[in-house]
Chain A
Amino acid sequence: MPRTLLVIDDDRDIRLVAKTSLELVGGFRVIVADSGHRGLAFANQARPDAILLDLMMPDLDGRATLDKLKQMPETASIPVILLTAKVQANRLELMGQGAAGVLVKPFDPIQLPNQVCEILGWRTSENDEEQSDKAPE
């Protein structure tokens, strides 16, 4: 059963590229939301294994969405990785707000699944493959 990731970003291209990369290369199941409000609803319904959350969005921005996710008991324990542009990146401050990690945009779609796994301490699909290559003698 693949892990489920929720990507919350108001930019259609970023949602599409992240979903394609994480599904094709990472082997994840990915759901997407185009706003903080929709992201909160999807997180509550789907209880994903982790969330990738854009920082700069209209209406409910990434910080406010992160606060709400951490306040709701149903979603409080879901690790959240913030997506942020280089000019906004202040990792320490963002980690202090409860983020599991920070990924800087633009990300490399080939590397994205590995970066997500690294932040979350998950085994990558590459590792899984290596394991399966060594499997039963």
Chain B
Amino acid sequence: MTRHRNENKLRAALEEIWRNTRPEAISRLAALESFLEKLRSGRADDECLDAARTAAHRLAGVLGMFGLEEGSSCAAKIEGLLWQESVSDAVLLEDLVHQLRHLLEGKPASMKTQEKRDL
């Protein structure tokens, strides 16, 4: 019983943490979009590539903790592409960044599940 109660407390705490951290996740996504923009216009340099790699790595490590497993997986694929010798598949990269935007604008799955349970 205690464990179950504490798990519910943890879920509530995670929702609170996600509310505070979501703006940062969105700004990390913006770093990816900015890199993509520079890549399209041939202005991508090492600095913005590093910023994009860091952003993708952070998103990959964090999103799944808040029920956005798909977001983590998407960010991990982006990170993988960004570590290739040259970012060869810009179309795939663009598609993944779009997907990530879509996922971040939605609500994490675990929180949706919780809402259903509460109905």
- Chain A positions within 8 Å of B, measured between CB atoms, are 11, 13-14, 16-17, 20-21, 24-25, 56, 85-87, 105-110, 125-126, 129
Question: Which of B33-41, B62-70, B90-98, B99-107 forms part of the interface with chain A?
Answer: B62-70
Question: Is B14 in contact with A126, judged by CB distance below 8 angstroms?
Answer: no
Which of B3, B61, B64 lies in contact with A126, CB distance below 8 A? B3
| Contact B65 A17, beta carbon cutoff 8 Å | yes
A85 touches B7 (CB 8 A): no
Please state if A13 and B65 are interface contacts (CB–CB under 8 Å): yes
Q: A24-B10, A85-B76 are in contact. Are A14 and B3 (CB under 8 A)?
A: no
Known contacts: A20-B17, A125-B3. The answer to whether A11 contacts B9 by CB under 8 A is no
* Contact between A87 and B80, CB atoms less than 8 A apart: yes
| B interface residue count range (under 10 / 10 to 19 / 20 to 34 / 35 or more) | 20 to 34
| Nearest opposing residue in chain A for B77, CB measure | A87
30 contacts between A and B (CB under 8 A): A11-B58, A11-B61, A13-B21, A13-B24, A13-B62, A14-B62, A14-B65, A20-B10, A20-B13, A25-B3, A25-B6, A25-B10, A85-B60, A85-B61, A85-B76, A85-B79, A86-B60, A87-B76, A87-B80, A105-B64, A106-B61, A106-B63, A106-B64, A106-B72, A107-B65, A108-B65, A109-B10, A110-B7, A110-B10, A129-B2
9 additional contacts (CB under 8 A) given A13-B17, A85-B57, A129-B3: A11-B62, A13-B21, A20-B17, A24-B9, A87-B76, A106-B69, A108-B65, A109-B10, A110-B11
Q: From DSSP, what is the main secondary structure of chain B's interface residues?
A: helix
The 3 closest A-B pairs by CB, nearest first: A106-B64, A105-B61, A106-B65
User: B residues within 8 A CB of A16?
Assistant: 17
Q: Is the CB of B13 within 8 A of A24?
A: yes
CA gap between A14 and B57 in the complex, in Å: 12
Q: Which of A13, A21, A129 has the most CB of B within 10 A?
A: A13
User: Which B residues are in CB contact (< 8 Å) with A106?
Assistant: 60-65, 69, 72
A21 to B8, CA, bound (A): 11
Identify which of B24, B62, B65, B80 gathers the most chain A CB atoms within 10 Å of its CB.
B65
Closest to B73 in A: A86
Bound together, the chains give a CA A70 to CA B66 distance in angstroms of: 33
Closest to B58 in A: A11
Closest chain A CB from B55 CB (angstroms): 12
